[in-house]
Structure 1
Amino acid sequence: MDGVGVAEVRLVVQADDFGMLHAVNVGTVEAFRDGIVTQVSTMAACPWFTEAAALAREFGIPLGVHQTLTCEWDFLRWRPLTSGTSLVGEDGTFLRSVAEAQASVTYEDSVAELNAQVAKFAAEGLAIEYLDVHMGQSATPAAYDEVSRAAGKPFIYGAVESQRFASIETLSDRDADVKRAWLLEYLDKLTPGVHLLVTHCAAAEPELGALHKPGSYTYRWAEEYRLSDQELVTDPEIRKAIEERGIELTTVAAAFS
């Protein structure tokens, strides 16, 4: 990256799923305070949102709304904030996959639910800087656009907003033995512009391994991917590598203001 200045390459390091459970909250705060995470996508419909909100206020964490219309876990199930029947399965909790949600969720129910999730941030006295999605776009693009307009904040995975990034990558779903090498190569190849790197952080707690039945791809997201992400984003050598390459850590709000 010879000749590339500090202001030319900017990196947003985002931690997803804040509010999902206590272990995620603890790890995410550590990754923000002691690591390279710069902004945090937060789940208002999840059971540990109240703790996440308190931690965000205490430490001044830049927040986005992690718009949630699915719940992938076997043993941790969350419910909508609203009463739309198209949002849920027979047990009254969110559907398990993006494909199921896309086939079921109505425009009206999705907009009402996502607006309620945004409103819950305001009820906690929290400012939001952006909106994104959990797992993928489970509603129609128009629904996310409507909620974004009402909130007055960008939906960063929208057709227009996503084009503002030079690249969008996810660190998480890679084998632990290759993840460090991948990350260093990723940093080497960053071009001028604003890049988004999505991570999933968590502290090592027994509850992670109890989220889902072992032996599936989803189970790898419960503990394996999160703990290996946590190790890297809090590693001083990774921060040093970022500094040596002249990469500026930033947030969506700061980069696109």
Structure 2
Amino acid sequence: MKHQLLLTWFCVIAATSVASVQAEHKETGEKRYLIIHADDAGMSHSVNQATIEGMQKGIVSSASIMVPCPWFKEFADYAKQNPDQDFGIHLTLNSEWKNYRWGPVASRDQVPSLLDEEHYLWDNVGQVMQHVNVKDAEKELRAQIERAKKFGVPLSHLDTHMGAVISRPDLLEMYVNLGIEYQLPVLFVANLDPKKYGLIAEKAKELKEVLEKNGLPVLDELVQFYGEPDYGKRKQAYLDELRTLKPGVTQIIIHCGIDNQELQNITHSSSRRDGDRRVFTDLEVMKEIKDLGIEVITWKQFHEMAKQKVAVTE
């Protein structure tokens, strides 16, 4: 995956023991909430199977769907049949794999700035930033949301594939406005370093207040781990991160997959995706989360928490 924006690349080795972490948070009364979120549902059959496994047999609490992708319908059918689970739209403005590409949901003649020379969506976020007209982007993202609704997906939130929708201030504002219009939370982080994110950080500070006034929640932390394909090392990195989880609401982004021929033909990340599936269906990991006193929640629950907060202040 390339050009990831507003995501933490990390592999922290925690020195704090489970017992001391539990004691610290028990003493302070600080609550730690965690959304375990699987990106890229709808991308392929193997990704769909793995994401469903993570939600049914594991501790994956939320997933988001790539509407333009060829396997969208399969996952949309699953979502429609399981309305109690948590599903968002992985708003997509780019198509990054070499031989496995997709175009827009909207008619191509309606969104010309979204298309590369082969009439697929642009390959990467840098190209989106350079070429995409915000009006074309809004048409496409509305088309993705409406298509998901037409297929009966019970929507809980919106987020962004590879950060493309939050790569420019005008795109970020359009994304937030869509969330407010549809009354769906958007993936959004409370505080961004202005030295690192510049104009994006300035716009985000302004839009954070807008979201909160509209009863839409804002994450305290967002983390993601690419790192080591070796399963044992990958599992340990996740456990170390869980043991140092900060108070508030954190989303950890994962990518579930099955390391089979289909996924190998699409992406070099098939083994890492398979590792994420295995980690978050691992009984030891699930027990560790429970023992640490971390409450795993959905975007639906997070939204309700935000609405209750607004009601209290009014």
TM-score w.r.t. the length of structure 2 is: 0.75
1-side partners of 2:73 and 2:147: how far apart? 10
The answer to whether structure 1 residue 33 and structure 2 residue 56 are counterparts is yes
**Displacement after TM superposition at 1:151 (Å):** 1.7
Spell out structure 1 runs of 4+ moving beyond 4 A: none
Aligned AA (2:103)? R
2-side partners of 1:31 and 1:148: how far apart? 26
Task: Please point out which of 50, 62, 83 is paired with 2:86.
Answer: 62
Point out the structure with max Rg over C-alpha. 2
2-side partners of 1:163 and 1:51: how far apart? 29
Deviations 1:182-205 (A, max 9, x none): 111111111221111000001232
| 2:179 corresponds to | 148
What secondary structure sits across from 2:296 in the alignment?
strand
| 2:253 corresponds to | 198
What secondary structure sits across from 1:195 in the alignment?
strand
Aligned AA (1:166)? D
Task: Please point out which of 232, 244, 252 is paired with 1:189.
Answer: 244
The answer to whether structure 1 residue 107 and structure 2 residue 154 are counterparts is no
What secondary structure sits across from 1:156 in the alignment?
coil
The answer to whether structure 1 residue 78 and structure 2 residue 109 are counterparts is no
Kindly indicate whether the alpha-carbon contact (under 8 Å) linking 1:41 and 1:63 is maintained by their aligned counterparts in 2.
yes
2-side partners of 1:50 and 1:226: how far apart? 21
The answer to whether structure 1 residue 226 and structure 2 residue 273 are counterparts is yes
What secondary structure sits across from 2:88 in the alignment?
strand
2-side partners of 1:87 and 1:199: how far apart? 27
1-side partners of 2:80 and 2:275: how far apart? 27
Task: Please point out which of 19, 25, 37 is paired with 1:4.
Answer: 25
Kindly indicate whether the alpha-carbon contact (under 8 Å) linking 2:51 and 2:256 is maintained by their aligned counterparts in 1.
yes
2-side partners of 1:115 and 1:255: how far apart? 23
**Displacement after TM superposition at 1:142 (Å):** 2.0
Kindly indicate whether the alpha-carbon contact (under 8 Å) linking 1:111 and 1:146 is maintained by their aligned counterparts in 2.
no
**Displacement after TM superposition at 1:163 (Å):** 8.4
The answer to whether structure 1 residue 176 and structure 2 residue 268 are counterparts is no
Aligned AA (2:275)? S
Deviations 1:11-37 (A, max 9, x none): 100000000110000000000001110
Task: Please point out which of 69, 77, 89 is paired with 1:46.
Answer: 69
Kindly indicate whether the alpha-carbon contact (under 8 Å) linking 2:79 and 2:154 is maintained by their aligned counterparts in 1.
no
| 1:216 corresponds to | none
Kindly indicate whether the alpha-carbon contact (under 8 Å) linking 1:43 and 1:65 is maintained by their aligned counterparts in 2.
yes
User: Aligned-residue CA RMSD in angstroms?
Assistant: 1.9
| 2:265 corresponds to | 210
Kindly indicate whether the alpha-carbon contact (under 8 Å) linking 1:118 and 1:151 is maintained by their aligned counterparts in 2.
no
1-side partners of 2:153 and 2:124: how far apart? 29
Task: Please point out which of 10, 20, 23 is paired with 2:46.
Answer: 23
Aligned AA (2:159)? D
TM-score w.r.t. the length of structure 1 is: 0.90
The answer to whether structure 1 residue 236 and structure 2 residue 283 are counterparts is yes
2-side partners of 1:251 and 1:141: how far apart? 23
Deviations 1:139-168 (A, max 9, x none): 621221232222221221363269832321
- In the alignment, structure 2 segments of 5+ residues that lack a partner are 1-20, 190-203, 305-314
Deviations 1:202-237 (A, max 9, x none): 12321111115xxxxxx2x3x122011111011111
1-side partners of 2:301 and 2:113: how far apart? 37
| 2:311 corresponds to | none
Kindly indicate whether the alpha-carbon contact (under 8 Å) linking 1:7 and 1:248 is maintained by their aligned counterparts in 2.
no
Aligned AA (2:286)? R
2-side partners of 1:157 and 1:105: how far apart? 21
User: How many residues of Structure 1 are paired with residues of Structure 2 in the alignment?
Assistant: 248
**Displacement after TM superposition at 1:7 (Å):** 8.2
Whichever structure has more helix as a proportion of its residues is: 2
**Displacement after TM superposition at 1:124 (Å):** 1.1
